[in-house]
Chains A and B, each alone.
Chain A
Amino acid sequence: MKNILRTLFVSIIVSMPSAFFAQAKEDPIPKTGFIALIAAHVVLGIIGIAALYAMTMALLRKIPSTTILRLSSVTALVSFVASWITGGIYYVLYYGGAVKPAILSGSNPFAHSFFMETKEHLFLFLPFFSLVLVAVSFFAGDLISKDTRVRYALCGISGLGVLIGIFSTLSGVIISGSV
């Protein structure tokens, strides 16, 4: 099932103009399309983490602003999903063929075998944490200021999201530095 989905996903993506997203060979300096993807992946991820951080700080106040909670949760969700998509395309079309073999055969193979593998799985929490935060902000916004348990629970989720985001970001630096 995983192979079918992967083939479907790749076939949709490679139907894009091939000059822009040419299948990566062993080229350590990627084409413009891949540079744009990785730049988008990084920037969107950081915006998502910043939004979760803003949400954490807002929830630490006695009376959180509902507007800030809604805006930051939606920003986090959209950013993380977009970062997920751009990162996924980059991974499938470029990283897997050109970067991963270079890292595994280099001086820091743990950069892929530990940091990338961990990042691939850990980041999955982020879009779903954001989805929970969006849902509660929009459908139970009043409850957040009235019930401290709800506020602290949401603060825990957003704070944990920030920690996972920071770990993912720093892992990305290690991975890129190990090429």
Chain B
Amino acid sequence: MRYAYYPGCSLEGSARDYSTSVAAISQPLGLQLEELEDWNCCGASSAHALDERVGISLPARNLALAESTGLDLVTPCAACYNRLASAHHRLERKPELRGEVAAELGLPYQGSVRPRALIEVVMSDVGSERLRELVSRPLGGLRPAAYYGCLLVRPAYLGLDDPERPRFLDDLLTALGAQPVEWSHGTECCGGHLGVSRPEVATRLVGNILAAAEEAGAEALVTACPMCQANLELRQAEAGRRRGRAHNLPVYYFTDLIGLALGLSPETLGLPKHLWPGWELLKTKGIWAGGGGP
């Protein structure tokens, strides 16, 4: 199954481990991800925060570039998905804007490319049945907390599932043999860009999320957004200091757990680059045999 692939800027930098993880699982899942030629930044939070037109035209350039491929445009980043889908949706609803945007881009814009989130591609095009077949090392006994964050489920007209009680990540984890916990903070905001612009606010939000995961008996968090993963990792130490007790919760990408369940090594998945790779946890659960590691 072929897709045009939009990694997003963070996968070239702070989320390089996610990039490694995605690359490692794409072949076993039968996903041929062809990086979009000359893609540009989707604008993330900043473009649409300051200017309506820039917030649409930056992601629209990628949609326009992808048209010649005839493929869906798939991204592993929840924020990039939201921006690509927002631009696609707006230009679909406002055909009078299309001509203006095309003129700004210097590219034709038909609106023919469907932006998709990687996790949705895995659940829809690969499916949980096929995932179960492919699993060679079930994650039995692992109790992760499925952390959806905001932008995969809201706003509802762009979201992949119910905004209050989504299930797709829990279903994926169950298909891998894990036992995702029921918990309160699955769709609570991690702070997004505040992790850089006002980190003390993000620390408070991250602290709440981690504490809620612990209260539900979770041993790790699983996410599909590099911004969330960064906030949950980078603010975790400070959140622990504020409450007087460290959290020590690994924050995995969903692709990490798919890879582990498919029998891939943590190194192949980029796990050593996590701040909390969770080696002890993986060893205890029989998911990693030890040696090699950190």
Same complex: no
B residues adjacent to A (C-beta < 8 A): none
